[in-house]
Structure 1
Amino acid sequence: MAALTKEVSDQTAGNSLEKTLEDFSNYLGFNNMAYNTIHVYLYAVEQFLTMYHTVSHDNLMLYKCFLMEHYKPQTVNLRIRALNCFMESLHLSPSKILMVRVQQKTFLENIISQADYEYLKKCLIRDGNLLYYFIIRFMAATGVRVSELIQIQASHVKQGYMDIYSKDNKIRRIYIPRALRNDTLTWLHQIDREDGYIFLNRYGNQITTAGIRGQLKKFTALYNLDPRVVYPHSFRHRFAKNFIEKCGDISMLSDILGHESIETTRIYLHRSSTEQKQIVNQIVNW
């Protein structure tokens, strides 16, 4: 790994941390990384370079140990991916930091139930909050990530889908079901929003993911819902559960969700922990 250290030193010599991060950000953008991915990757690289200053095998291993001591395995692997990507951006040797093993659960946790989802929609309609009615409906009816949700424009609704470009120029298509499309077009016509982003904040600017998360937390108190199941990704889980139960095509679901491996999607074949508990309570009487 001596060559690795030397090569990094040659390429980053004289570069400030800000310049290094700027170059990496440009690299990620050029490779069509999502905004949230860029933000997370930059944070990981900044954390590493602030702690160790030089990219070397020993420092990479020390950073991995630090991550394993302070973070959950999913976070550890996310930051390892960031560092591996950073080394790729510097055209280093193909040696990569190995991921940590994550034990696959045999159940799902903290997913909003269909009943609570329907209840939340009714409350929002009753209170005239059509903005958030359509926000949660889009997440639950398309499987869109919240970072992708805020990118949806009127033109996407009109054509019935939105294409997301990932790294390696791969395209993932997010379909907008006919019923949702028709209802959304009616709403957009009523509020005179014929183009641009469809989800705007009270100032007329593109809504933020943080704004959505904050508002969902308020709904849990307002409508007496469990805060553990009312968060953006919960509605994406709801979509996946409903899709697999009604269609059963796990390969298609994996494509729609944009999972890199179908193994990631297999979790939706399992019952939620709440469902497992209910079934056990119903059938076990011995």
Structure 2
Amino acid sequence: MDWNTTLDDFKRYLEFERNLSKNSISAYLNDVQKLRVYSEDRGLGIKDLSARHIQEFLVWMSGFAISTFTQARLISGLKAYFNYLQIEHELDPNPIELIETPRLERKIPDVLHIEEIDALIGAIDLSTPEGTRNKAILEVLYGCGLRVSELVNLKVSNLFLDIDFIKIEGKGSKERLVPIGSQAIKYLKIYLQDVRNHQNIKAGHEDMVFLNRRGAALSRVMIFIIIKDLASHIGLKKQISPHTFRHSFASHLVEGGADLRAVQDMLGHESITTTEIYTHIDKDYLQSVITQFHPRS
């Protein structure tokens, strides 16, 4: 049982049986590679590893000042690998079986107020083709609560604007239908008709909605840059990213009284507990409730 063979087998397992995305598979393999480097430096093979070795490896990794979240993800990746080896390669004992994952505090994500979103979108220069595209990008990002990967991979063939829906290919190639509002539809149509229709589109990118100047699909990094530049332009001090628009979309829906299950479906969350983080209520609202209803206020 060697590292190369088992990693190749593990990769195929993640890809075809677990049906994970490329990013998730890469993260799992990187976690195992870290353990491999650590083990080989100490002359340890896979069958030599014990729970003590895994603990020592985690202590060694903590020396790189990794966060609790990163440590939890690392352990999760290693558990998936060793559980796979236990089943498919009859590894016994499983060295990570008794290793506990650190408890994670559920962090309430940063969100933007609607005034801040309006300011960001309002700062876009609509006199340029890129500006028209960027307005459509932000309207769709906030209006549909998409992940940045879902946005850059959005296909023209998955737009059903006549019935106010778009089809999204999410994590693990799972598809879902997401409603799209009138504002997003309006600026998406303007971009498609006035900008995209006049571009020379690269072969293989004909079905991609959002294109760069060269007619190819936009990268995730480009979406980050667009948002960072707009934030800088309006002097916004918050650290924001494309995911901030997704958090804001969900938070504003929940605060407005939307059903949590409906929000879960729109976001593509597998578990309702992931969506429940958006049930936080801002301090101003809490204060108003106390003022209005508490007998001693």
2:101 counterpart residue number: 99
Q: How many residues align?
A: 262
After superposition, where does 1:156-171 map in structure 2 within 5 Å? 156-158=158-160, 160-164=165-169, 166-167=171-172, 171=174
CA distance in 2, matches of 1:255, 1:96: 35
TM-fit CA distance, 1:77: 1.7
SS in 2 for 1:115: helix
| Distance 1:141-1:67 versus aligned 2 partners, 3 A rule | farther
2:187 counterpart residue number: 183
Amino acid in structure 2 at the alignment position of 1:226: K
| Distance 1:63-1:116 versus aligned 2 partners, 3 A rule | same
Is the 2:126–2:132 contact (alpha carbons within 8 Å) kept by the matching residues of 1?
no
CA distance in 1, matches of 2:170, 2:135: 27
CA distance in 1, matches of 2:124, 2:98: 48
SS in 1 for 2:101: coil
Is the 2:135–2:187 contact (alpha carbons within 8 Å) kept by the matching residues of 1?
no
CA distance in 2, matches of 1:268, 1:24: 35
TM-score normalised to structure 2 length: 0.74
TM-fit CA distance, 1:132: 2.0
SS in 2 for 1:152: coil
TM-fit CA distance, 1:91: 4.7
Deviations 1:245-266 (A, max 9, x none): 2343112222322333322222
Q: Give structure 2 stretches of 5+ with no counterpart.
A: 292-296
Amino acid in structure 1 at the alignment position of 2:30: Y
CA distance in 1, matches of 2:84, 2:259: 37
1:5 counterpart residue number: none
The answer to whether the aligner puts 1:85 opposite 2:80 as a matched pair is yes
After superposition, where does 1:131-280 map in structure 2 within 5 Å? 131-158=133-160, 160-164=165-169, 166-167=171-172, 171-179=174-182, 180-191=184-195, 192=197, 195-228=206-239, 230-272=240-282, 275=283, 279=287
| Distance 1:35-1:162 versus aligned 2 partners, 3 A rule | farther
2:33 counterpart residue number: 46
Work out which of the residue numbers 53, 56, 70 in structure 2 matches 1:62: 56
| Distance 1:203-1:79 versus aligned 2 partners, 3 A rule | farther
Is the 1:24–1:89 contact (alpha carbons within 8 Å) kept by the matching residues of 2?
yes
The answer to whether the aligner puts 1:35 opposite 2:22 as a matched pair is yes
Work out which of the residue numbers 70, 75, 78 in structure 2 matches 1:75: 70
SS in 2 for 1:71: coil
Q: Which moved more, 1:246-255 or 1:188-197?
A: 188-197
SS in 2 for 1:99: coil
CA distance in 1, matches of 2:285, 2:160: 43
Deviations 1:146-199 (A, max 9, x none): 1222110111123632243655x8x45141414223531342122217941112
SS in 2 for 1:173: strand
CA distance in 2, matches of 1:111, 1:124: 20
1:120 counterpart residue number: 120
2:294 counterpart residue number: none
TM-fit CA distance, 1:130: 2.1
| Distance 1:110-1:134 versus aligned 2 partners, 3 A rule | same
Larger-Rg structure: 2
1:111 counterpart residue number: 111
Is the 1:35–1:147 contact (alpha carbons within 8 Å) kept by the matching residues of 2?
no
TM-score normalised to structure 1 length: 0.77
1:6 counterpart residue number: none
Deviations 1:19-68 (A, max 9, x none): 65554444333233223222322322222211124443333333333445
Is the 1:217–1:231 contact (alpha carbons within 8 Å) kept by the matching residues of 2?
yes
Is the 1:157–1:185 contact (alpha carbons within 8 Å) kept by the matching residues of 2?
no
TM-fit CA distance, 1:126: 4.2
